[in-house]
Structure 1
Amino acid sequence: MNMKPWLYAAALAGALTMTACANGGDNGNEASQSPTATATAQPSLESTSPPTATTPGATATEQPTKPSEQPQQDGSAATADKLIEIRKLAREGRVPGQSYTVHTTLIDDIEKDWGEADRTDAAGKGIYATYESHHAAFGYNKGSVVFDVRSYSDDLKDLSLRDIEQTLGKADSVTENGDDDIYVYQVNEQYELKFVIPASKERVDHISVFSPKDAHNNMAG
């Protein structure tokens, strides 16, 4: 009867020991599994994403602005140059494209160079010889002195009154001849520069360099 309590105690102690071993083994397994899971975790996708377009590198790759082409000469500037040249020649008694000078040229000189005129007409204070192929006409008095040189060149056809006034200012006088308006500039004591503009066209038909002093018939009896 005295042995039974001892055996019971020994059996209970053995059972407790086995339970403790089993629990210790489970805890050990859990401890060994946790580091493995942590070590094999995949890195965040955020760290491998490419830089956005707002980084400094994006600005550096922008294409430079293409340089613009050189502008052509401004049309108004070219027109002004043309009018200034017309006035300059008028002060010398000439028109563009011709070498004949009002006041010093005789109609005989022109006929020697160009032959007979296509037509001659009595007009105003003298006679006018027209050379259509040269886009020119010459007024001369009975002494054969040329007092008026006219140019009908196509280079003049694009000139408007506005162009003329912007460069040369207002005309000294304006007269009318039929449907034509004649804008007169006194370029010096000897010569007048005239722009003849038909009212229906509003563009220059022809120009004239005129010498009032030579327009008188100095051979009249």
Structure 2
Amino acid sequence: MILTLKKATLKWVFVVMALLLVAGCSNNSSSTSNSHNQKNSTTSDKQNATPNTPSSSTSPDVSNSIVYENTQYGFKFKLPGIWKGYSIVTNQWEGIALTGGNVVETGPIISIRDPNWTAKTPRQDIPIMVFTLNQWNLLQQEVFHIGAAPLNPSELGRNNYYVFALPARYNYSFPAGYKEVENILSNHPLQTTKATKLQLGSTETLLAKMMSMAKQGKIISSDFAVKTTNIDEVEKVWGKADKTDFVAAAKGQYNTYSKYKVVIGFNKGGQIFEARSNSNQLMGITLAEAKEVLGTPAHDAMVNGQEIIGYRANSSFKLELVFPQPTNSKPNPVIDHYNVLYPEGTVNSMADDPGRQW
């Protein structure tokens, strides 16, 4: 009886243990399945998520370029987008005569300034020198030089009136940003457009001044007017001339004042009929530009290896410019001197001499 009871008890124990084992396996399987489903869900979320786009403040778009346009001189300059907010600074270049050291030409330098530039931490500008075509030719002929550097500016481009150039050794001090400017320039960012008119440069202004003073009977180097001034008045102010020559073909005597680079012609009565200047200021004037600015001359003659062009300033006075005669090697020579003439002052009625016309 007791043995039978023990067997029954053991049987139920085995049944219960079997049920517990089955339940445990079922829970295990459910947990593994849930874990697998969670992993798949996470991967799917990542694939469908929108990627974060960095803001422009932390990663600027340098591919979008901007353009500076100068309509006065006729050019455009492409800049990277990070130069938005740039400023323009204008200065002047000066052309120094090789002899005498006087300034004979000037022109603008237009500098594009980095928007990050400050007085405390300056950065490299992009300087663009502007030359008239005539000024550029004079620079190549070494009529004048710019700055202490032995090198000339390098041409960036040109249009119908101007040449645009980069100053020699513009970044000699290697300021902050100079490498960035070099990279900008390496992409040839300057493009020229047609200029509508020639802005008056120093040479054009000088020629206009010479004509204006000629109408008063004066040259740029002297306040002594022809016709109304006697040679005695000159000697009272300037003293004795360095030398005096009689020139029959020119109808009078000529006093040379080397200090003032002036020669004065006068007749027997002492009346001044001609004032001549070879000032260093004239060094920028070429034959072609004189004709371009002053127009077709009323007088144009080749005499003793020189080309002399003349203009009527008014009914009393004439303006003459004297150049070396053009050659194949120098077809556009630089002026030698110029003068203002009062033709009536060369007339000698007693000798029945009609005098000079030019």
- Deviation of the 1:168 alpha carbon: 0.8
* 2:267 alignment counterpart: 141
Q: 2:81 matched to 1:81?
A: no
8 Å CA contact 1:126, 1:217 repeated in 2:
no
Find the partner of 2:221 among 97, 100, 113.
Answer: 97
Counterpart of 1:67 in structure 2 is 87
2:304 counterpart letter in structure 1: G
Cα shift at 1:163 = 1.5
Structure 1 length as normaliser, TM-score?
0.79
Q: Is the 1:192–1:209 Cα contact (8 Å) retained in structure 2?
A: yes
1:187 aligns with 2:318: no
Query: Of Structure 1 and Structure 2, which has the larger fraction of its residues in helix?
Result: 1
Q: Residue 8 of structure 1 aligns with which residue?
A: none
- Equivalent position amino acid for 1:68 in 2: I
Match of 1:34 in 2: 33
| SS of 1:157 mapped into structure 2 | helix
Alignment size in residue pairs: 212
Tell me which residue corresponds to 1:51: 52
Is the 8 Å Cα contact of residues 152 and 207 (structure 1) preserved in structure 2? Answer: yes
- Say if 1:136 and 1:56 are closer, same or farther in 2 by CA, change over 3 A: closer
Change (3 A) 1:140 1:95: same
Q: 1:54-76: per-residue Cα shift (whole Å, max 9, x none)? A: x6554589633332332544554
Task: Give the Å deviation of 1:114.
Answer: 1.1
Equivalent residue number for residue 110 of structure 1:
234
Query: Which letter does structure 1 place at the counterpart of 2:34?
Result: P
| Structure 2 SS opposite 1:95 | coil
Q: Which structure has the greater CA radius of gyration?
A: 1
Normalising by the residue count of structure 2, what TM-score does the alignment of the two structures yield? 0.51
Match of 2:279 in 1: 153
CA contact (8 A) 1:86 1:95 kept: yes
Letter in 1 for 2:231: I
What's 1:217 paired with?
Answer: 348
Is residue 221–residue 260 contact of structure 2 (8 Å, CA) maintained in 1? no
Q: Residue 174 and residue 60 in structure 1: after superposition, are their counterparts in 2 closer, same or farther (change >3 A)?
A: closer
> Unaligned stretches of 5+ in structure 2?
1-12, 63-80, 93-106, 109-130, 133-200, 353-358
Shift of 1:167: 1.1
Verify the 8 A CA contact 1:141 1:214 in the aligned structure 2: yes
Retained in 1: the 8 A contact 2:221–2:261? no
Amino acid across the alignment from 1:212 = P
Between 28-37 and 177-186, report the one with greater CA deviation: 28-37
- Among 228, 246, 249, the residue aligned to 1:122: 246
Distance 1:46 1:59 in 2: 27
RMSD: 3.7
Where 2:25 maps in the other structure, the secondary structure is helix
Contact kept? 2:302, 2:325, Cα under 8 Å: no
- For 1:140 and 1:218, locate their aligned partners in 2 and report how far apart those are by CA, in whole Å: 16
Paired amino acid for 1:70:
T
Unaligned runs of 5+ in 1: 1-13
Are 1:160 and 1:203, in contact at CA under 8 Å, matched by a contact in 2? Answer: yes
Structure 1 counterpart of 2:296, from 149, 153, 170:
170
Which residue identity does 1:192 align to in structure 2?
K
Task: Summarize the Cα distance change of 1:64–1:136 in structure 2 as closer, same or farther, 3 Å threshold.
Answer: same
Matched position secondary structure for 1:85: helix
Give the C-alpha shift of residue 49 in structure 1. 9.6
Amino acid at match of 1:210: L
Residue 29 of structure 1 aligns to which amino acid in structure 2?
A: N
Q: How far does residue 43 in structure 1 lie from its aligned partner after superposition?
A: 5.0
Deviates more, 1:180-189 or 1:74-83: 74-83
Kindly indicate whether the alpha-carbon contact (under 8 Å) linking 2:221 and 2:262 is maintained by their aligned counterparts in 1.
no
SS at match of 2:246: strand
Pick 1 or 2: higher relative contact order, CA cutoff 8 A, min separation 6: 1
